[in-house]
Structure 1
Amino acid sequence: MRQPNIARGATILAGSAVALLVGSGVQANATTIEFPQVPTLARGGLCWTSIRTWADTSPEWPGRAILNVRALPVSGVGPGSYPLAPLCEVRTMVAWRNTTTGATGSYDNVVVTGIYGSIQYALFQDTGPGVVEVTVSTDAASIPARGTFVVPG
């Protein structure tokens, strides 16, 4: 008995998805380490938010890590037609130091956030393998955060 076209298509699609998941393996080895949030004021009105930061590492990227930054929804009052839905910004700095190799660097970005939060900002960093310490801060009044993560070699 011959399967209808829809059933054949679903079977092929399901088989392809399983093969993709089994064959990739990248996600299974990736590690995400989230650091404490940084409560901060922001420019563009009387605004405040918290900044989330985290690092993604994987054996697929030896000696490298992705640093990620994202602001939570902003609170406060701003100018313009919608003062209770302000659009504010704050410069965010993620300074890192590899305690194994001594390498240092930073990821600086102006994070723009509104009532739904911000987009995700992310960038590869050539940290080298080892233990990496980070300090997250902003250029406005804030409570900096610290964290550590391990980068595979």
Structure 2
Amino acid sequence: MSPHGFSRLSLRAVALLSLSAAAAATAGAAGAVEFPQTPSMFYGGLCGGSIRTWADTDSPGRAVFNIQAAPITGVGPGTYSMAPLCEVWTNVDWHNTTTGAAGRYAVNVVSGIYGSIQYSEFQETGSGHVEVTVSTANPLSIPQHGAFDVP
């Protein structure tokens, strides 16, 4: 095979893989609905940041609620006071306006200068239109609202 034939084959392979990856990423995100980020102060130091939440709606009659804190800023106690590790209870209150079902996903989100792990939980929302309020236990936060449909 000539060097030109090999490079053409390589370029075609790269283009095909790129298109496949883009299609897979689009398909994977099809059932996800992200809500506005919730700004909040955290406990365990003088820390602040925002909390990202979204719902995956690929399963009929239920949703997976996901919570993840963005990197926080602030100061905390201890040797590494400029790299604090802080926490705040975060609530995702949901109400299915079609069926009347309601629930809450609450988790203590621990975050640092690199953010937090992803917290997730299935909720049996039922099929229909679901409205969400995301808040924290800290009074210095701004609750956010969102909505999505469950098949």
Q: TM-score normalized by structure 2?
A: 0.80
- Quick one: distance in 2 between partners of 1:29 and 1:53? 14
Pair 1:54–1:81, CA change in 2 (3 A) = same
The aligned residue for residue 109 of structure 2 is 111
> Partner residue of 1:149?
148
- Structure 1 counterpart of 2:120, from 119, 122, 139: 122
- TM-aligned CA deviation for residue 28 of structure 1: 5.5
Specify the code of the residue in structure 1 equivalent to 2:130.
V
Structure 2 gap ranges (5+): 1-20, 22-26
For residues 84-105 of structure 1, the C-alpha deviation after alignment (integer angstroms, 9 at most, x for no partner) is 0000000000000000000000
CA distance in 2, matches of 1:46, 1:28: 37
1:28-52 deviation line (CA, Å, top 9, x unaligned): 5841100000000000110001000
Provide the residue aligned with 1:34 in structure 2.
34
Question: Counterpart amino acid of 1:108?
Answer: A
> Who is 1:13 aligned against?
none
1:94 aligned counterpart, secondary structure: strand
Which aligned pairs between 1:83-98 and structure 2 lie closer than 5 A?
A: 83-98=81-96
For this pair of structures, how many residues does the alignment match? 127
**Counterpart for residue 15 of structure 1:** none
* AA matched with 1:104: A
Counterpart of 1:139?
137
Counterparts of 1:103 and 1:44, CA distance in 2: 35
> For residue 143 of structure 2, what is the amino acid of its counterpart?
P
Give 2:107's aligned amino acid. N
User: Structure 1: any 5+ residue segments left out of the alignment?
Assistant: 1-20, 22-26
CA distance in 1 between partners of 2:29 and 2:67 (Å): 22
> TM-score, normalising length from structure 1?
0.79
Runs of 4+ in 1 over 2 A off after TM superposition: 27-30
Return the offset for 1:109: 0.2
